[in-house]
């Protein structure tokens, strides 16, 4: 593993500033990042440890029916959170992108690298034929902890969603659906492959470890 500079900023603004340098990466739990670094797949010059940033570990219900998931909410917490009775019944399962064998590391659901992008995906309601219980939630690409830091200079003031991602309902893709009813991809690539595999392989709520 290549050596790197390690910084632990105390505020979101400091974190964004520290990560503006080329080759910097945010470090939350590090499960993905460290694995990639050990494999020589990614080699950041600087790690910006965001684990101590305040107020990013909350799950909030918004007045418009959305759910705001703080960047430091751990997947295990999200999976166990009773947000499911609401409009997005399967949300916890959709945020279990890790292969099942890797559950032991609770990892943040997103890094604050969401900051420069508009991750507030459209809150398009499910298609008429799709009832609420079938609604699925897209996992934005921005939720990946290994995405590159934002260089757009976003600040908490200019982007209220800095540090957060908002998920939206989208219609379930039915089995055998060849694309005609396929929902438009929300933000980037949609659910990760393990999440998709997971969703199709399991029919009952999982135990909730990630």
Q: Which chain residues interact with other proteins by CB under 8 A? A: 1, 3-6, 8, 27, 29-31, 34-35, 38-39, 47, 49, 51, 74, 76, 80, 100-106, 206-209
Q: Minimum Å distance from CB 209 to other proteins?
A: 5
Distance of CA 138 to the CA centre of its chain: 10
Strand 46-49 and strand 5-7: pairing? parallel
Q: Minimum Å distance from CB 50 to other proteins?
A: 10
- The DSSP 8-state label assigned to residue 125 in this structure reads P
Between 103 and 164, name the residue whose CB sits nearer to other proteins.
103
Between 75 and 130, name the residue whose CB sits nearer to other proteins.
75
Q: Could you tell me which of 75, 35, 71, 76 has the C-alpha nearest to residue 53?
A: 71
Distance of CA 57 to the CA centre of its chain: 13
Q: Minimum Å distance from CB 27 to other proteins?
A: 6
Between 40 and 63, name the residue whose CB sits nearer to other proteins.
40
Question: Residue 109: is it exposed, middle or buried by C-beta count within 10 angstroms (0-12/13-18/19+)?
Answer: buried
Between 102 and 148, name the residue whose CB sits nearer to other proteins.
102
């Amino acid at each position: 593993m290549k050596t790197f500079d390690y910084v632990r900023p105390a505020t979101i603004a400091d974190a964004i500033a520290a990560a503006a340098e080329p080759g910097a990466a945010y470090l939350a739990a590090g499960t993905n990042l460290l694995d990639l670094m050990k494999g020589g797949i990614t080699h950041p010059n600087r790690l910006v440890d965001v684990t101590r940033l305040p107020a990013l570990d909350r799950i909030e219900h918004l007045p418009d029916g959305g759910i705001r998931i703080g960047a430091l909410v751990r997947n295990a917490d999200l999976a166990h959170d009773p947000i499911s009775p609401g409009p997005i019944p399967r949300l916890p399962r959709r945020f279990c992108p890790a292969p099942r064998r890797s559950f032991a590391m609770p990892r943040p659901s997103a890094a604050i690298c969401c900051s420069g992008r508009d991750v507030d995906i459209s809150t398009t309601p499910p298609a008429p034929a799709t009832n609420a219980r079938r609604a699925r939630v897209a996992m934005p690409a921005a939720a990946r902890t290994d995405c590159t830091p934002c260089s757009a200079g976003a600040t908490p003031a200019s982007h209220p969603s800095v540090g957060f991602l908002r998920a939206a309902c989208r219609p379930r893709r039915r089995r055998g659906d060849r694309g005609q009813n396929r929902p438009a991809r929300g933000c980037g690539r949609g659910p990760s492959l393990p999440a998709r595999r997971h969703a199709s392989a399991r029919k009952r709520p999982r135990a909730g470890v990630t």
